[in-house]
Amino acid sequence: MTGDTEIPEDPHAVNGENAMRKKIGIMGGTFDPIHIGHLILGESAFMQLGLDKVLFMPSGNPPHKRKRDGAANEQRVEMVRLAIEGNEHFELSLEEMREDGYTYTKETLLRLTRENPDTDYYFIMGADSLLQFDTWRQPEEIAKLCVIAVAVRDGMPSEEFDAEISRMKAKYHADIRKLTSPNLDIASHMIRKWVREGSSIRYYVPESVRKYIYDSEVYTCSTIS
């Protein structure tokens, strides 16, 4: 109708039917072990982006490349399962847990978008991962296949971080959404170190995961701290 304001079409919609499309978040990583920072980021993305669910997707490691101080594939998967148990909008995905080992993000997204053409994928990451995005394999292809949802970076001026987001949007024609979620300074390698040293990891990981780590001696420690 003449005089009406035209509403721009959502680039992630098909034939304008955006309301009918599913919105699925992806939390990828080694999760060695999964910790509360991962869970808080996943929950923040779910709430702020109006997602239908969030897939927690542990990456696979070929047997000859497994780290000595790290958990086995099946142990990492079990820790993720325990951590998200009871959250109906969190789901464990074994999409990258493949026998041939590591799968690149672009390959995973390509498979998912081909298999589920009615779904928009939101790749959830911490700020440090976004700052390293230039070094990823085929970042421009990743940007075509998903929306990137990123946590703010603690300790970095918001103007500087926003400028970096703008640069990547322009360089890769990416849809990047900034989450108002704390980017907790927790590193899985530090949790493994604390377990080996006998230090407490209470509250850094869900209690079910903490018990599993010690009961199963995942990181070669048999005494609960």
pLDDT digits (tens, 9 = 90+) for 152-168: 877 778 899 999 999 99
In DSSP terms, 55 is beta-bridged to 26, 91
First to last CA, the chain: 69
Does 21-188 carry CATH code 3.20.20.80? Answer: no
**Contacting residues for 187 by C-beta, under 8 A, at least 6 apart:** none
DSSP-derived letter for residue 70 is S
pLDDT digits (tens, 9 = 90+) for 161-211: 999 999 999 999 999 999 988 767 789 999 999 999 999 999 999 999 999
Task: Give 69-78 contacts, CB < 8 A, sequence gap 24+.
Answer: 69/192, 69/196, 69/219, 69/220, 70/30, 70/32, 70/192, 71/32, 71/33, 71/218, 71/219, 73/97, 75/216, 75/218, 76/30, 76/31, 76/32, 76/33, 76/34, 78/212
| Closest to 180 (Cα-Cα) out of 48, 53, 50 | 48
Provide the residue count of the chain: 225
pLDDT at residue 151 is higher than 60: yes
pLDDT digits (tens, 9 = 90+) for 60-100: 875 545 555 689 999 999 999 999 999 999 999 999 987 66
